[in-house]
Amino acid sequence: VKNINPILPDDSASADAVHLVFSGLTRFDTNGQLQPDLATDWEVSPDGRTYVFHLRHNVHWQDGVPFTAQDVLFTITAIQDPDTRSPLLTSWEGVKVAAPDPYTVIFTLPKADTPFINATTVGILPSHLLSTIEPSTMQVSAFNQHPIGTGPFELQNFDETAGQITLTANPSYYFGKPLLQGVTLKLYDTAAEALTAYSRRQVQGVSQLQPNQVATARGLGTMKIYTATQPDEVAVFFQTTTPILKDKAVRAALAEATNRQAIIQDQLDGQATALASPLLPTTLVNLGGAPHQASYSLKKAATALDADGWKLGSNGLRSKNGVLLEIHLVTQSGSIYGGIAEQLAQQWRQVGVKLDVAQIDATDLQQSYIRTRRYDALLYGIDTGPDPDVYAFWDSSQIKDPGLNLSDYDSPAADNALEAGRTLQSPGLRSVKYRNFIQTWVADTPAVMLYTPLYEYGVSASVYGVQIHKLVDPSDRFSGIGDWAVRVREVTAGPGS
């Protein structure tokens, strides 16, 4: 962690610190529901373009200065300034912000965008401390190591060398001072090191247990494991413009040759839910019965490849017109994806497909492969967020970097459905559009959806009050931290009470 700044998100550890120190206009609770935070309430205009937020009174920054609408105005303006280089810019592009009085903020969107409301969870920055610095220096501002927020905890010490962030309870927190006197975040390079630290009683919680750690963690006997869903999807993204994978029949056959349940059991110890749609099943309740990718069937996959002219040779591999059915897949090294990729190679080999796997360092994978789309197939995970809108991942306008259309998927029918779905406020009308999108997507098969992982949070049984069920972001596990405690005392009613 180098920065604790909500508009300069870096990694999960800094996001945890930001969540504890800062507050947004809204926040997600541990059930994945959007709740008021610095705002008490808000209204949306009938055309979906204007949002009016009403702010809490008597909120103070951790240095005692009153919080006002000017702080919101400053924060959003800073995000929108390209010199700040905030990764959040795309969520706020074209949005006009006004503060007609100290406790009202008005956002005007260039066009209706229903998922926009989720962007208002961004932590608000103190204008009185940052308004005089140049946006181009925000990345290196001393504030990032000595942050002042309005959240439940305030920074006491940030030891970057030791990898430790020490926080104390904010006595003037507007929802009431937390029961805990403080929280210390200790940073480790690997999940294994974090679990070892727990077993040595150096920490009381491990932020995210890996699937192969859950059984070990249960065996310690002192740890309670809290399980939550999260809006993450792991998939094999096909580069639909390559000579072999531009063939829709090949892509569909590979989907049928994929045994998701075997991968979940063998690689993830069952700690995931199989996924066969680009939209998570719980996203919109009235999407029940929507199309999904075909179930696992080696026979159907082989038959489809035969019909498409890919003949099986004596070496067990298929070819057509002298071209071998060979696919080069890249994924992140040092992650759970390596074993999954190798198992996929074994599964697809059963229908005559050769899958070459390259495991690439995270930084190199991002810069040299994902941003340039230099792969036949990519095994990777994406965070689709709290809204059913998946425009960023599948609309053709997002094909080029920094867009996230990792398959270079280009379908006018899918585009029309996605672009209409994000402008509608009625869940019923939106579900119609997203059903159309799913139907088109499944027919085209630009990717093989594999699974959505479970979030496993390991905490000492001596910590009380932890509740997580559905997380939008892992740091949302701290949304109820004001009620956590490490000591519980019985109170006996006195006479006459």
pLDDT tens digit sequence for 53-72 = 999 999 999 999 999 999 99
The separation between CA 406 and the C-alpha centre of its own chain, rounded to angstroms, equals 16
Residue 292 pLDDT grade (very low, low, confident, very high; cuts 50, 70, 90): very high
Mean pLDDT of 402-413: 96
pLDDT > 70 in the chain, percent: 98
Average pLDDT of every residue of the chain? 95
Question: How, if at all, do strands 104-108 and 96-101 pair?
Answer: antiparallel
Q: According to the model, what pLDDT value does residue 273 have?
A: 95
Q: What is the mean pLDDT of residues 18-45?
A: 97
Identify whether the C-beta of residue 151 lies closer than 8 Å to the C-beta of residue 22.
yes
pLDDT at residue 11, rounded to an integer? 85
- The pLDDT value recorded for residue 496 is 57
Pairing of strands 377-383, 326-332: parallel
Measuring CA to CA, which residue among 122, 56, 127 is closest to residue 95? 122
Instruction: Classify residue 196 by burial, with Cβ atoms within 10 Å: 0-12, 13-18, 19+.
Output: middle
CA 151 to chain centre: 22
**How much is the average pLDDT of 451-471?**
96
Task: Give the tens place of pLDDT for each residue, 244-275.
Answer: 999 999 999 999 999 999 999 999 999 999 99
Lowest model confidence (mean pLDDT) among 170-184, 303-317, 416-430: 416-430
Reference 264, options 451, 493, 49, 21; nearest CA is 451
Q: Give residue 493's pLDDT.
A: 67
39-66 exposure pattern, b = at least 16 Cβ within 10 A, e = fewer: beebebeeebbebbbbbbeebebbeeee
pLDDT tens digits along 112-171: 999 999 999 999 999 999 999 999 999 999 999 999 999 999 999 999 899 999 999 999
pLDDT for position 334: 87
pLDDT band at 285 (very low <50, low <70, confident <90, very high): low
Q: Does residue 480 register a pLDDT over 60?
A: yes
Q: What is the pairing mode between strands 205-206 and 153-159?
A: unpaired
Counting residues of the chain whose pLDDT is more than 90, the rounded percentage is: 90
Predicted local distance difference test score (pLDDT) of residue 288: 72
Q: What is the pTM of this model?
A: 0.90
Mean pLDDT confidence for 411-428: 94
